[in-house]
């Protein structure tokens, strides 16, 4: 399977599940001729992500709405700062409010947490990576939020990178030989990056001897073993990624071992939603 999956439309899905056949409250309680001027603003310090997604949400509800992004993705904001302004039919603003806020709060939460990790490793060679531990259906948006926070994207899915983990090594198909499998992948798809997961220094030595390996993932290793693994690969072209046990208290010490990458599942699976609000002016 080499084809990239067809993209879906998370905005359309979110609006359909919220509005259904129509906004009953707006239909019966809001005069369609009433105009409004509103803004979405931050209620806490954050890094913005999803501003364009929120803007597009309002546009899908009512193309006549005038929506302007005051602070775009990657911008640090303080409490009270305006993110978007919206002008147009009051009913349309109210109908789009919750879905727009849901996207903005969730994605800004990812960007804000990512920025904290990026700041924690500042001055080291390490870069912060996301993982595939994303909200189903929101992967592209969440990975864009990681980039807005200063992080880097790992593979988008199973289709754009080889990543051999411990369960792959235990599977029957791996019995044909790891080196041969790497060669087949390289021949079939030149340029495809290959990453192998190592749990021990013995595995690191074995993997460093193979041709065609781009990255070795050092999984749940101690700081001493991380230092030792990096030393084993020094002078070569293979890069190292650390994973497991990574949090804001441990990430700097991990970065100081010399690894080039640190993957953090928490960026997307544990980010807290940022508090934003919409108010009529």
For the question of residue 133 being annotated catalytic, the response is yes
The residue assigned the tokens 């709060």 is: 105
Residue 152 DSSP one-character state? B
The one catalytic residue in 165, 184, 205, 272 is 165
Dihedral Cα 56, 115, 40, 98, nearest 10 deg:
60
What is the Cα–Cα distance from 84 to 86, expressed in whole angstroms?
7
DSSP assignment of 69-131 equals ESS-TT-EE-TT-EEEEEEEEHHHHHHHHHHHHHHHHHHHHHHHHHHHHHHHTTTSS-EEE--
Phi, psi of 134 (to 5 degrees): -115, 165
For the question of residue 165 being annotated catalytic, the response is yes
For the question of residue 98 being annotated catalytic, the response is yes
The one catalytic residue in 81, 97, 130, 219 is 219
The one catalytic residue in 87, 133, 186, 193 is 133
For the question of residue 219 being annotated catalytic, the response is yes
The one catalytic residue in 98, 127, 155, 193 is 98
What is the Cα–Cα distance from 29 to 57, expressed in whole angstroms?
22
List active site positions.
98, 133, 165, 197, 219
């Amino acid at each position: 399977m080499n084809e990239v999956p067809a993209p879906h439309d998370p905005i359309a899905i979110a609006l359909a599940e919220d509005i259904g056949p129509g906004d009953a409250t707006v239909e019966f309680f809001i005069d369609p001729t009433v105009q409004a001027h509103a803004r979405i603003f931050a209620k806490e310090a954050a890094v913005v992500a999803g501003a364009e997604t929120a803007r597009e949400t309002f546009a899908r509800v009512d193309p006549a709405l005038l929506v302007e992004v005051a602070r775009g993705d990657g911008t640090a904001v303080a409490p009270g700062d305006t993110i978007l302004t919206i002008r147009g039919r009051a009913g349309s603003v109210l109908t789009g409010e919750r879905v727009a806020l849901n996207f903005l709060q969730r994605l800004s939460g990812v960007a804000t947490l990512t920025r904290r990790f990026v700041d924690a490793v500042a001055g080291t060679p390490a870069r912060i990576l996301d993982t595939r531990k994303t909200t189903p259906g929101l992967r592209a948006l969440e990975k864009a939020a990681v980039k807005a926070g200063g992080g880097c994207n790992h593979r988008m899915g199973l289709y754009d990178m080889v990543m051999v983990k411990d369960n792959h090594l235990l599977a029957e198909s791996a019995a044909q030989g790891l080196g041969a499998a790497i060669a087949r992948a390289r021949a079939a798809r030149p340029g495809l990056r290959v990453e192998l997961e190592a749990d021990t220094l013995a595995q690191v030595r074995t993997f460093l001897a193979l041709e065609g390996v781009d990255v070795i993932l050092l999984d749940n290793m101690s700081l001493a073993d991380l230092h030792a693994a990096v030393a084993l690969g020094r002078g070569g072209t293979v890069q190292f990624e650390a994973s497991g046990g990574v949090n804001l208290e441990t990430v700097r010490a991990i970065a100081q071992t010399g690894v080039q990458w640190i993957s953090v599942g928490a960026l997307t699976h544990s980010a807290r939603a940022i508090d934003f609000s919409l108010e009529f002016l």
